[in-house]
Amino acid sequence: MDDYEHIDLDEILSAPMETAERLALLTSEEAYDVLCLLVTASQEGGSMSRDADRLAKAIAVRIPSEN
């Protein structure tokens, strides 16, 4: 995270925003990248898999299909 070390992710993630508002800040390509990352994390298991699955589903219904 060389270019992003100055960003406090805890502050961003705790900001009072809905998922759709956060997605509006991303390009379509970035939203798909985030979705792919979350799907991968949810499939690998671990302590964050349940949250990753929940967020992947929330994002998937809010972005148009790639096709």
From residue 45, alpha-carbon distances to 2, 17, 23, 26, 33 in Å are 27, 27, 24, 26, 19
> Whole-model pTM?
0.60
Confidence (pLDDT) at 43 = 93
Confidence (pLDDT) at 8 = 64
Confidence (pLDDT) at 1 = 42
